Amino acid sequence: MPTTPVTTELLGEHPELSHIDVGREVSGSWIRGGDGLIGFGVRARTTVTGKNRFNDARAWWKSQLASYDIRNNVRGSGTGPVLFASFAFNDDQPTELIVPEIVVGRKNGESWITWFGSDAHPELSAVSAPTSHPRITWREGSLQDSVWKSRVADAVKRIKTGALDKVVLARDVNADSDSPMDIRAIIHNLESKYPSTWVFTVAGLVGATPELLARLSKALVTSRVLAGTIRMTGDEAKDLALAGSLAKSSKDLEEHEYAVRSVADALAPYCSSTNVPEAPFVLHLANVMHLATDVTGVVNESAVPVDIFTVISSLHPSAAVCGTPTEVARGLIAELEGMNRNRYAGPVGWVDARGDGEMGIALRCGLLSEDARSVRLFAGCGIVAGSVPEDELAESQAKLSPMRTALETL
């Protein structure tokens, strides 16, 4: 069967990833602290739906790889052809899979480019400065604030009956623009303000997630768990005191423990050893602080290889975005949330030809309309027995602020 050449070569100096232009639209990104991947154009694209969507995504990616003649002169994670994927939270919604025509990568000071075809790689230039700035207007989402708070109160009552330990309730808000919003400018704004997050875009979903669902590289798997949040004030002394209170908060520690346990339990069947720190650390972002734990494991050697699809299918949905017990929490979300999550809170990231990759949880994000003139923003909060509806609303507003700021500064 004829195959298409896919070549990867080292690059010299070039603009920041979010500023690169190759004369094609951005089709995928995964950037943190200047490193990562950005894709341009679309070589292949499909959607998968249903309970087997992780297996179906793997099968489709393997079928694409079978038609490539891979000429990788760089090696290493993220080099060669790359699949960008954005999985739906629920299995009845479409998952988006995109193979870009061109991918530029950067890691630890080394840069590379991957492209399809036998011609030389395209020239890279810097993005031109925008000539117009859209005017953004805001409108309510699926539920009014007062209604959403009452749903949180209903969830707390259900938890206190012992029906479940935790549930994550999300909400949305909508933004409209008087002209198309530039996704590259949104990426740049997010990267500039939130360099310690993973800035992503796949098929119109764009955001800056602080939560790494799974990284698989040479049999080492890592998952960053976030649960327990407090809003920052901008005053260094006050924020230091708030960080201390967060680290001692019984409500937030309880919420965090459920999330960490769900991840560790999900990884255990695939790992010969796992490491779960005894206590979380406080992760400082530009707008909020989180309780955070990095869970790591060494993947078993087995007859059936474990790839990133295996890992995320086991991890999703974690207690950090769903609750515990999982199926009870799922049922309560469907009953109380009042909206379709679409790809919010689903796995998002990239996979390479070896099955290694990085997948975050699609948080602090928005879903652009096809004409890029409107966008839905999402935020969710972990609800436990000690949750207070007014506090949870404030937390959700803090979690919406990264995307709100990115849009309002276009």
Which positions are annotated as active-site residues?
Answer: 166, 211
Residue 299: closest CA among 262, 265, 264, 274 = 274
C-alpha–C-alpha distance, residues 298 and 275, integer Å = 9
User: What's the sign of the alpha-carbon dihedral 60, 61, 65, 67?
Assistant: positive
CA 324 to chain centre: 21
Judge contact between 88 and 95, C-beta under 8 A. Answer: yes
Show Cβ contacts of residue 233 under 8 Å, excluding neighbours closer than 6 positions.
239, 242
Judge contact between 53 and 87, C-beta under 8 A. Answer: yes
What backbone phi and psi angles, to 5 degrees, belong to 33?
60, 35
Question: Which amino acid is residue 102, in one-letter code?
Answer: I
C-alpha–C-alpha distance, residues 327 and 344, integer Å = 18
C-alpha–C-alpha distance, residues 347 and 386, integer Å = 28
DSSP string of 43-78, one letter each residue: SEEEEE-STTHHHHHHHHHHHHHTTEEEEESS-STT
Span between the terminal Cα atoms of the chain, in Å: 47
C-alpha–C-alpha distance, residues 141 and 375, integer Å = 11
